[in-house]
Homo-oligomer: A and B are copies of this chain.
Amino acid sequence: MIASLKSIPRPVIRRFHEYLACLERIRMRGRRWINSRELADVIGMTRSTVRQDVSYLDFSATGRNGYEIEMMEYVITRTLRLEVPAIAVIGGGGELARVLALNSGRRFRAFEIAGIFDWRSSLVGTRVGKWVVRDSECMPKIVRSRKVEIGIVASNAEAAQTMANLLVSAGVRGVLNFSPTPVAVPPGISFLDASMVPALLELVHEVRAGTRKKKASVELGARQ
């Protein structure tokens, strides 16, 4: 089966990131092989799920040794299309932008921030790590010249929708919302809401309702 022809379900994509983190950690300890049982334990699913997930990759286990760690990392990275770092711009030059910019690119060298933009003249020209906040007016030009794919909404609630609109009209193909308010994007543009508010609300409900199912996952030790 030519794995790349099947479109990969969202839950599988998400688990690929967990596999990557786990594989990297185990490789650092000098291991070369891993089997489906170990991976299943780490992500808190069954062996079947792991093997099902692997079937989406152009990749096979080597006999009863299980999966070759380095090879699996490579194939997952390629399948996630992360071989070439993604180019992103940040809309909003405040605290949130600072956190995003300073944390980007650490993991897998997966992102490159092509610019940070804001309308507020008090922020334009200030430094955020190695970037200088630029006027939002310049955004379309940069998005075109640097072939920016992703726009990150990192402004306050009031400016969030305006910023999302600007990012889209500047030409990004996907929008990631970190602002504390929901934003809308036109059809054809990928969108993901990663604001912290829904996460907190969800956790509060779970804690208070006491509706936990299985076990917590077994991810031990700090990484990196």
- Contact pick for A213, options B181, B203, B224, CB 8 Å: B224
Number of identical protomers: 2
| Chain B residues near A219 (CB-CB < 8 A) | 10, 14, 182-184, 192
- Whether B194 and A212, one on each chain, are in contact in the complex, defined by CB atoms closer than 8 angstroms, is no
Kindly state the separation between the CA atoms of A18 and B86 in the bound complex, as whole angstroms: 29
| Chain B residues near A174 (CB-CB < 8 A) | 203-204, 206-207
Determine if A64 is an interface residue (Cβ-Cβ < 8 Å).
no
Interface size on A, residues (CB 8 A): 84
A149 to chain B: closest residue by CB: B207
A9 to chain B: closest residue by CB: B211
Determine if A125 is an interface residue (Cβ-Cβ < 8 Å).
no
If A201-B82, A202-B192 touch, whether A99 touches B107 (CB-CB below 8 Å) is no
Determine if A186 is an interface residue (Cβ-Cβ < 8 Å).
yes
Interface-side segment among A28-36, A47-55, A130-138, A152-160: A152-160
Which of A96, A196, A209 has most chain B Cβ within 10 Å?
A196
- Whether B189 and A176, one on each chain, are in contact in the complex, defined by CB atoms closer than 8 angstroms, is no
- Whether A176 and B200, one on each chain, are in contact in the complex, defined by CB atoms closer than 8 angstroms, is yes
Enumerate 10 A-B pairs (CB-CB under 8 Å) in ascending A order.
A86-B200, A104-B200, A150-B203, A161-B222, A161-B223, A176-B200, A181-B224, A194-B200, A202-B220, A215-B224
